[in-house]
Amino acid sequence: MTQTSSEPTTPFAKDTEPHLNKWGPYRITRDEVTETAIRRFCEVAEDGNPVYWDGDYAKSTRFGRLIAPPQSLFSMTFGAWWTPGYLQQQTDEAAAALNPPGTELAGQGGVHAVCDEYGYTINTVAGQEVEYIEPFGPGDGRLKMRSMTTHVSEEKTVRVGKGIFITSVTEYRTEVGDRLIGRSTMVLLRYKAI
Amino acid sequence: MTAPTEFTTLSWDDVKEGDELQSLTFPISMRTLMIDVAGTRDLYPIHHDREFAKGNGARDIFVNTMFYEGLFGRIATDWAGPESFLRKLRFSMKGPNCLGDTMVSRGWVTKKHEQDGQKLLDVEIHLDNQIERDATIANVTIELPS
């Protein structure tokens, strides 16, 4: 079989190409950013920063209020563990209202489905960069986010097997005031163990 | 609640490139990894199921991405003070920090600069463990009040 270098050179590249550089739908978290969620995140790395713990102290700082650790953005937007059906429906409706019809198929879902098809089913984050644009905290409501895949590597041999590096960008906004609070670029390795 | 008084924030003018951050030692026990799951909401089994982790090429279960975010953010603001604000965080994981490992951090200021009126410090933080030096390396940008 002959191939030219200007077009996708493998079936994998060909199958992922249509899914690149398109914003996926907005998702919205089930829960608002709360003091309790902040404290549970701070317990993980034992972070005692008083602007995350002490509302009175935080008011006296330049932030003017209790804030979440900016680095908790991923945890605060992680999918809930269990939700009753009627509430899930409300959350889905809230997200649907943010999206024009048709965006459901764009974004990261397509690339990940292709990876599953090719057997690259194990995920690990290989690297990431996050930019924290504004502080956020209790009072900002829930958080909204949307992502797009910007690059997919060739199939590579890595320390744990054979895999694909996927680069994606995600934007984060507050529900109250619709403020852009963060932007992240993530490189995810999806692999199969050999 | 009484406002704590022992907290101070660095003055940008007083910081020099090359200044070192205090080192942090953090052992990873099963309790650490359980709090990690609960606090970061990450149920992916490679971080809590030893059989799954080992079956997928890992040395053992290991701390997740959000743990590193929490730890690097903490190391940065413990040093810079409560009125500092994390502006950027980037890190690469060369090797995992697993159950039973002890992480030790080293950090220093790589660049002092101003951008869009913000007083910024770029800081590099390395995590070593007893098996691997530079298991994880982070580049953090911290904004100090002007």
Nearest to B121 by CA among B92, B84, B91, B75: B84
Residue B69 corresponds to which amino acid?
A: E
Task: Give the pLDDT band (50/70/90) at residue A179.
Answer: very high
Residues B86-95 pLDDT 10s = 999 999 888 8
Residues of A in contact with B67 (CB under 8 A): 44-45
Interface contacts (A, B; CB < 8 Å): 132
Task: Give the pLDDT band (50/70/90) at residue A4.
Answer: very low
Q: Which pLDDT value is given to residue A1?
A: 42
Mean pLDDT, residues A140-160 = 92
CB of A48 closer than 8 Å to CB of A42: yes
CA distance B72 to chain A (A): 9
In this complex, do A62 and B83 lie within 8 Å of one another by their Cβ atoms? Answer: yes
Q: For chain B, list the domains and their CATH numbers.
A: 12-144 (3.10.129.10)
Residues A68-96 pLDDT 10s = 999 999 999 998 999 999 999 998 888 88
Phi and psi at residue B114, to the nearest 5°: -120, 140
Q: Which pLDDT value is given to residue A3?
A: 45
Residues B57-116 pLDDT 10s = 899 999 999 999 999 999 999 999 999 999 999 998 888 999 999 999 999 999 999 999
A4 three-class SS: coil
Q: Does pLDDT of B141 surpass 50?
A: yes
A86 three-class SS: helix
How do strand A180-193 and strand A161-174 relate by DSSP bridges? antiparallel
Q: Which pLDDT value is given to residue B92?
A: 86
Pairwise pLDDT comparison (A172 vs A104), residue with the higher score: A172
What distance in Å separates the CA atoms of residue B64 and residue B79, rounded to the nearest whole number? 23
Mean pLDDT, residues A17-43 = 94
Q: Which pLDDT value is given to residue A108?
A: 60
Q: Which helix (H) or strand (E) holds A184?
A: strand A180-193
Pairwise pLDDT comparison (B4 vs A24), residue with the higher score: A24
Q: Where are the domains of chain A?
A: 11-33+87-193
The whole-model pTM stands at 0.86
User: Residue B132 gets which letter from DSSP?
Assistant: -
Nearest to A70 by CA among B97, B66, B127: B66
A11-33+87-193 maps to CATH 1.20.1080.10: no
Mean pLDDT, residues A116-128 = 86
Q: Which pLDDT value is given to residue A92?
A: 87
What distance in Å separates the CA atoms of residue A47 and residue A29, rounded to the nearest whole number? 24
The percent of residues in chain A predicted with pLDDT above 90, rounded, is 62
Mean pLDDT, residues A173-180 = 97
CB of A145 closer than 8 Å to CB of B105: no
Residue A110 corresponds to which amino acid?
A: G
What's chain B's average pLDDT?
95
Q: Point out the residue among A69, A80, A81 whose CB comes nearest to the CB of B70.
A: A69
Q: Does pLDDT of B3 surpass 80?
A: no
What's chain A's average pLDDT?
90
| Other beta carbons within 10 Å of A144 | 21
Q: Which pLDDT value is given to residue A105?
A: 54
Task: Give the pLDDT band (50/70/90) at residue A2.
Answer: very low
Interface test with A, best of B6, B12, B85 (most A CBs within 10 A): B85
What distance in Å separates the CA atoms of residue A38 and residue A75, rounded to the nearest whole number? 10
Tokens of B62: 């290991």
